[in-house]
Amino acid sequence: MPNKESSSIEKPLILAKLSRLREYYGYLKQLQTYTLEDFIDDFKIHGATERFLQVSIECIIDIGNELISSLQLRRPERYRDIPYILAEARIIPKDFAETVALMIGLRNLLVHAYASINLKMLYEFLQEKIQDFEKFARHIAEWLEDKAAVNST
């Protein structure tokens, strides 16, 4: 049976990663203001978007791995397994796990297939999907608060 005690969770580390994730989300929100034409034509805009998407997703991976390790949950075989493990532990909703897995898939594309990134697809992700970073952060923060409340009673 996994150890579910929140005392084993490195809460300051997770909160620091959540803070970083929210910071990067703010940068991505600023990048949303550009038109598709500006986004495609200006390497600084799409380059910054690629980087902030990558590091945002890496924050999600790091937070997930920290929780999995601290709670002694089953080990992921690949990064895309992380959200499903978090959902099994009721840290994030099951219906949100697939969304996070797709985000991790985007990270793999950004890291490993960077030369073939479709800028229009990246722009669409920026316009339509980045709120999922804030949603993830909210789920984690709420779970941490719930665990703290349970342990204080």
> Residues 25, 130: contact at Cβ < 8 Å?
yes
> Residues 24, 17: contact at Cβ < 8 Å?
no
Domain that holds residue 34: 8-147
Residue 2 lies in a domain: no
Residue 17 lies in a domain: yes
Residue 152 lies in a domain: no
C-alpha–C-alpha distance, residues 47 and 138, integer Å: 27
Q: Report the pLDDT value the prediction gives residue 153, as an integer from 0 to 100.
A: 56
pLDDT digits (tens, 9 = 90+) for 75-93: 999 999 999 999 999 999 9
Residue 124 lies in a domain: yes
- Cα distances (Å, whole numbers) of residue 133 to 70, 111, 129: 22, 18, 8
6 has pLDDT over 50: no
Of the CA atoms within 13 Å of residue 78, those in its CB half-sphere come to 7
151 has pLDDT over 80: no
Residue 3 lies in a domain: no
C-alpha–C-alpha distance, residues 27 and 21, integer Å: 10
Residue 53 lies in a domain: yes
Residue 153 lies in a domain: no
Domain count, the chain: 1
CATH number at residue 124: 1.20.120.580
Residue 1 lies in a domain: no
